[in-house]
Amino acid sequence: MHVSITRLKIRGFLGWLRFWALSLRVLNFARNAKDIVFCEVKSDHGYKYTLTVWKNKEAMLQFRNSEIHRMAMDLMPNIGQGSVFGYETNKVPCWDTALSLFHENNQT
């Protein structure tokens, strides 16, 4: 399985509006994607996180390359600053494990 953890720091009121307008569509698309195993969102210390687990990396890449995800990435500079960490595993991680791995491997 492929795990993808994203973190977003939203900037300003307009960033929040843009985030909510777009994130619900992207999240719904991800939750209904082929080969998704787990998809959840969490807020922590002023950041928004997503934790997605895919059957394999190819499934994650198919989602990442989708039109709706590309649109979200194009709008990212108007929303805030984000970062991502991904890895392979044999089981769905809990949030504590996922966030620990994210922070160990992502210094931004």
38-80 pLDDT, tens digit each:
999 999 999 999 999 999 999 999 999 999 899 888 888 889 9
Mean pLDDT in residue range 71-91: 91
Please report which residue ranges of 6-77 form alpha helices under DSSP H. 12-31, 57-64, 67-75
CB 74 within 8 A of CB 18: no
- Exposed / middle / buried, residue 7 (Cβ in 10 Å: 0-12, 13-18, 19+): buried
Q: Which residues pair with 22 in a beta bridge?
A: none
Global pTM value: 0.88
Domain 2-105 has CATH 3.30.70.100: yes
| HSE toward the beta carbon, residue 69, CA cutoff 13 A | 14
Q: Is residue 20 pLDDT above 90, yes or no?
A: no
Q: What is the pLDDT of residues 52-62, one digit of tens each?
A: 999 999 999 99
